[in-house]
Amino acid sequence: MRRFMSAAGVAMGGLALMAAGQGVASAATTTTTTVPSCVVAQEKFLVTVWVDVTNNCSTQQRVQVVYTDRTDPTCYTIQPGQTAYSRLFAQIGHFKGLISC
């Protein structure tokens, strides 16, 4: 009986460690960084949703455009004073925000 209880304790400890590790991994994958307020996005509606992202900062910025139904996979590198254009055709969602990449 003592061996059974010892084995059960080891198994439960292992499960707790696995669960803790998965929690950390999940948190790491959902962490995003917002972009500075000097990076401005303008949403336009044509046949689909288009977003123009202008860098009004004094430094280069790297951003991704987030829509309500997906994230544009492109990481745009935008120099100061320049504009990047996110055009996802057959877009159903709307502009949600920007994240650093």
pLDDT tens-digit readout, 51-64: 999 999 999 999 99
CATH of domain 39-100: 2.60.40.20
Q: Return the domain boundaries, the chain.
A: 1-31, 39-100
Q: Is the pLDDT of residue 40 over 50?
A: yes
pLDDT number for residue 33: 80
What is the model's pTM?
0.65
Residue 22 has pLDDT above 60, yes or no: no
At 20, list the tokens: 């803790």
Tell me the range of 6-10, 30-34, 44-48 where mean pLDDT is highest: 44-48
Residues with Cβ within 8 Å of residue 93, at least 6 apart in sequence: 49, 67, 68, 69, 70
